[in-house]
Amino acid sequence: MKRTVLSWALIVGLTSAGAAVLAQGFGTRADIWAIELGASVRDLPVREFQEYACGSNGGPPRKPIAGFADYETCAPDGSGHHEVTFRYDDEFEYRARAIRSERMLGRYEGTTVFGNPVIISVLIDSAGRVAGVRIVSDPRASLVQREKAYSIRSNLRSRYASQGWDCVDREPSERQRPIGRIFVNQVCTKDLEDRQLFLEAHYFRKPGQGNTDPATRELTPGQFESSIRFEMYWTGDDDPG
């Protein structure tokens, strides 16, 4: 009996040690912050991302493309920008699942920003340079993740220094109600030396949304608006290189 217990202890110890070694060898996965404003599409880390497609103003992907270099395939928006959306490389996620590391899986699962699922895209101008990046909370996230989507606004503000933001908190309209005691309908902007930041966050209920169905009294989870939209635009020299 003691030998069996010791054997299992040894197996668990070796498995944990192996997982720790593998976790240390993960390296760093490229993310949206690896995209440099003003950079040429030729210099972007194409191989580090996957599932490229034409964007839809932060919505679902449209026509699939091979990479950033195919940006002209995507129709320009009103500002003349071509939106290219993509996802993070999922190799790190599969490694985390292989070693059954919840800690590493939490770090590398899906395309996220500050732990929340998002839809990311790059805005490319007619000269083939990065004019901006866009981050929008993913409405397909789990209920728990979607509910806290609005809360990462503080993380996004802190990334570019919490001070100096110009924020406007809008009052609830006739078609908006707080969730409990919380109501968020905030728009923030900030100008830096070579870029302009825009951040919008929402957390409220729309008409007809509630905790329960008034007819059946059954719970109706997920009936709320919780979202963020972050956009950053290049305002530097015409020739950033």
Q: Per the domain annotation, does 14 fall within a domain?
A: no
Would residue 17 count as lying in a domain?
Answer: no
Number of domains, the chain: 1
Question: Sorting pLDDT into bands at 50, 70 and 90, what band is 19?
Answer: very low
Pick the closest to residue 76 from 136, 137, 132, 139 (CA basis). 132
Q: Structural domain of residue 201, as residue ranges?
A: 31-234
**20 found inside a domain:** no
237, two tokens: 């020299």
pLDDT in tens, 217-240: 777 778 899 999 999 999 987 544
pTM for the full model? Answer: 0.82
23 domain residue, yes or no? no
Place of tokens 């880390």: 45
CA separation for the pair 89, 104 (Å, rounded): 14
Query: Is residue 5 in a domain?
Result: no
Nearest CA-CA partner of 130 in 235, 48, 47, 8: 235
pLDDT tens sequence across 179-193: 999 999 999 999 999
Q: Is the pLDDT of residue 16 over 50?
A: no
Domain contains 191: yes
Q: Please state at what angle helix 91-98 crosses helix 2-24, rounded to 10 degrees.
A: 170
Q: Per the domain annotation, does 239 fall within a domain?
A: no
Domain contains 57: yes
**pLDDT above 90 covers what percent of the chain?**
63
In whole angstroms, give the CA distance from residue 20 to residue 220. 42
